[in-house]
């Protein structure tokens, strides 16, 4: 009903850049596409962490640790989601997940995994010195 497929992960040196992509599809979306999508990450042995989100009108939200370094965007058709990551740090090493809220629902005030019903399989990002 909803499919999210990430790509673009890999290994990069500290200070480098990567661009993650997510292909979004599903019969549950209306003609406007998803209303709230974003990226989460999970470091080994740790809880999932919100990274960035964007709503259908293009309003974005980031966690403090990635502000100024990461940029979330989507194409006009709302079928692709991107995360441009620059000046990567060791602490950015994690599995990154593309997420979507329930079709037709705007982003909740709380940026929490609770409000994202659909998750991709994840793509690994490894940053080394």
Give tens-digit pLDDT for 25-48: 988 888 778 899 999 999 999 999
* Mean predicted confidence (pLDDT) in 73-92: 96
- What the block records as the tokens of 120 is 């991709």
3-state helix, strand, coil in the chain (%, to 5): 5, 45, 45
pLDDT at site 97? 98
- What the block records as the tokens of 84 is 């441009």
pLDDT above 70 coverage of the chain, percent: 100
Q: What is the mean pLDDT of the chain?
A: 95
Q: How far apart are CA 78 and CA 112, in angstroms?
A: 21
């Amino acid at each position: 009903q909803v499919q999210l497929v990430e790509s673009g992960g890999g290994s990069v040196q500290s200070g480098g850049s990567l661009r993650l992509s997510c292909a979004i599809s599903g019969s549950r979306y209306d003609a406007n596409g998803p209303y709230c999508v974003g990226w989460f990450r999970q470091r080994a042995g740790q809880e999932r962490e919100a990274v960035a989100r964007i709503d259908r009108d293009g309003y974005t939200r980031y966690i403090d640790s990635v502000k100024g370094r990461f940029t979330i965007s989507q194409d006009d058709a709302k079928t692709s989601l991107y995360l441009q990551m620059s000046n990567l740090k060791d602490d950015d090493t994690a599995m990154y997940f593309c997420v979507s809220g329930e079709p037709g629902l705007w982003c909740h005030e709380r940026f929490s995994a609770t409000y994202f019903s659909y998750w991709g399989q994840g793509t690994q990002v490894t940053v080394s010195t």
